[in-house]
Structure 1
């Protein structure tokens, strides 16, 4: 179970990186690209799976439920904005908000102990 958990953690991090790098590639003329929308969506789903595995398995440490709840809320807003405004024409200022939510989510993950 630990191996599966570690693989999902790597995929979760890669999903956030894909979304953030995709934003960086269109920052001059902001828009929600499919890479941003799908990267945020994949990170959201993988985060839920990671929480489920951590809660159910004795091999993985139990998650901090307050931290998970805050991260879930931030990710849910990012997913909603990314998928809800994906078809708006460029420039789409919501892309900046989604990118900021990605950075906030990553900061929560690493700074909240």
Structure 2
């Protein structure tokens, strides 16, 4: 179970990186790219799965529920904005908001 958890953590990190890369590719004319919206969604789903594995398994440390709640809320807003405003024409200012939420979420993961 610990190996599965570790692999899913790396895939989770790769999804956040893909979402940020999708933002960086459209920086000249900001818009929410499919890579950005799918990356945020996959990272959100994997985050929920990781919390479930960590809560159920004895091999992995129990998660900090306050941290998980804050990160879940931020990720949920990012997913909603990414999918809800994806059809807007460029420049889409919500692309900056989603990218900022991604950076806040990643920062919380490492600093909290």
TM-score, structure 2 as length reference: 0.99
Instruction: Return the alpha-carbon distance in structure 1 between the equivalents of residues 28 and 47 of structure 2.
Output: 30
In structure 2, the residue matched to 1:12 is 12
Structure 1 residue 27: Cα displacement: 1.0
CA RMSD in angstroms, aligned pairs only: 0.4
Q: How does 1:54-69 map to 2 (within 5 A)?
A: 54-69=54-69
In structure 1, the residue matched to 2:107 is 107
TM-score, structure 1 as length reference: 0.98
| Matched residues, number | 112
Structure 1, gaps ≥5 residues long: none
Displaced runs of 4+ in structure 1, greater than 2 A?
A: none
Structure 1 residue 71: Cα displacement: 0.3
Instruction: Return the alpha-carbon distance in structure 1 between the equivalents of residues 19 and 75 of structure 2.
Output: 12
